């Protein structure tokens, strides 16, 4: 299964004057976090399979500034944003796809005012489009008939109103979508947003990810689907905590699609 993935960088592409159709914004988690790197690779396999003309910034990419901004550090955010915009504009980027809802939100909503105007797409939307355009086709494979519950990432759902794209993908897998008590605009956060990922929670009765995982378990799913590397970590920890590690995988939708296609 370890097929070679092809990941051209923007620098290489620019050198041969072949700027791609779309930039894949990998994000910090996608670049460095061991779990999230698997999501990145799964998505690249899909891009390769569908022959998408894409590039990554590689070592020229840097944090969008999202966690700094949510923590209240507008200076750090602004410096990151301006540097990134300079790089993106130098490569004449028009269209960006990203696997991280936080990068998505920052790039799509907060960069335009600062001179970074791009069409930004979340990978669940992008994969949907590939399927609709017939550039990719899937059969349910190992997910056929399985119960999958989907955890809405705050920065995809409430923050940007994207609820259907990920759910459509679950349908394409021929799986049964089982909704949690609180879903879509009413969904409960996994506890990672607003820079919480990088600190211990304040004292309380319970950790938020435990609460959310319990809610997911109530649906008796075979899989928990995520669409954000941070939610993925939080839900994976929650599943570990309830001793279901091993028999209840938490997978990103990109991984599910790639697995179904045996990529």
Partner 1 sequence: MELNFGLQNILFLAAFGVAIYFFSKNFGKIWRNINLGKDVNRSDRPKERWALMARVALGQSKMVKRRAVAGFFHVLIYVGFILINIEVAEILIDGILGTHRVFMPLLGPVYDAAISFFEILALLVIVACIVFLFRRNVSVVPRFKDLKGWAKKDGNYILFIELVLMFALLLLGATEANIEGNHVDGWIVSAQLAPLFSGLDQGTLIMMERAAWWFHILGIFAFLNYLPYSKHFHVIMAFPNVWHSKLEPSGQFSNMESVKKEVELMMDPNADPFAAPAEDAAEEPSRFGAKDVMDLNRIQLMNAYSCTECGRCTASCPANQTGKKLSPRKIMMDTRDRLSEVSNVIDELGQFEDDGRTLLDDFISREELWACTTCNACTEACPVNIDPMSIIVDMRRYLVMEESAANPSLNTMMTNIENNAAPWAYAQADRANWINE
Q: What residues between 57 and 86 interact with partner 1 by CB under 8 A?
A: 58-59, 61-63, 65, 67-76, 78-80, 82-83
Of 145 and 161, CB closest to partner 1? 161
The piece of 24-32, 91-99, 141-149, 219-227 that touches partner 1 (CB under 8 A) is 24-32
Helix (H), strand (E) at residue 166: helix 164-172
- Nearest approach, Cβ of 117 to partner 1 (angstroms)? 14
DSSP 21-60: SEEEE-HHHHHH-HHHHHHHHHHHHHHHHTT--EEB-GGG
19 binds partner 1 (CB under 8 A): no
- Nearest approach, Cβ of 201 to partner 1 (angstroms)? 7
List the one residue from 5, 14, 87, 131 that touches partner 1 (CB under 8 A): 5
List the one residue from 42, 177, 183, 189 that touches partner 1 (CB under 8 A): 189
φ and ψ of 100, to 5 deg? -115, 120
- Nearest approach, Cβ of 69 to partner 1 (angstroms)? 6
- Nearest approach, Cβ of 139 to partner 1 (angstroms)? 28
Residue span 222-241 as binding mask against partner 1, x where in contact by CB under 8 A, dash where not: --------------------
Of 70 and 146, CB closest to partner 1? 70
- Nearest approach, Cβ of 103 to partner 1 (angstroms)? 12
- Nearest approach, Cβ of 166 to partner 1 (angstroms)? 16
131 binds partner 1 (CB under 8 A): no
Written as six digits, the tokens of 152 are: 């809405």
């Amino acid at each position: 299964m370890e097929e070679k993935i092809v990941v051209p960088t923007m620098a290489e592409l620019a050198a041969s004057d072949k700027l791609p159709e779309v930039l894949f914004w990998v994000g910090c988690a996608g670049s460095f976090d061991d779990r999230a790197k698997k999501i990145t690779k799964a998505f690249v396999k899909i891009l390769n399979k569908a022959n998408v003309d894409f590039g990554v910034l590689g070592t020229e990419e840097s944090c969008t500034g999202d966690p700094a901004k949510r923590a209240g550090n507008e200076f750090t955010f602004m410096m990151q944003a301006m540097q990134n915009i300079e790089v993106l504009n130098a490569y004449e980027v028009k269209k960006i796809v990203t696997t991280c809802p936080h990068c998505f939100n920052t790039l799509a909503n907060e960069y335009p005012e600062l001179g970074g105007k791009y069409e930004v797409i979340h990978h669940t939307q992008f994969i949907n489009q590939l399927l609709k355009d017939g550039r990719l086709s899937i059969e349910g494979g190992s997910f056929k008939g399985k119960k999958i519950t989907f955890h809405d990432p705050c920065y995809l759902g409430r923050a940007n109103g994207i609820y259907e794209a990920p759910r459509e993908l679950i349908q394409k897998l021929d799986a049964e979508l089982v909704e949690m008590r609180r879903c879509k605009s009413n969904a409960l956060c996994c506890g990672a947003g607003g820079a919480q990922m990088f600190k211990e929670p304040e004292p309380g009765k319970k950790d938020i990810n435990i609460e959310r995982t319990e809610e997911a378990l109530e649906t008796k799913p075979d899989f928990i689907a995520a669409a954000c590397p941070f939610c993925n970590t939080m839900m994976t920890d929650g599943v570990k905590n309830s001793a279901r590690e091993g028999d209840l995988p938490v997978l990103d939708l990109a991984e599910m699609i790639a697995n179904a296609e045996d990529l």
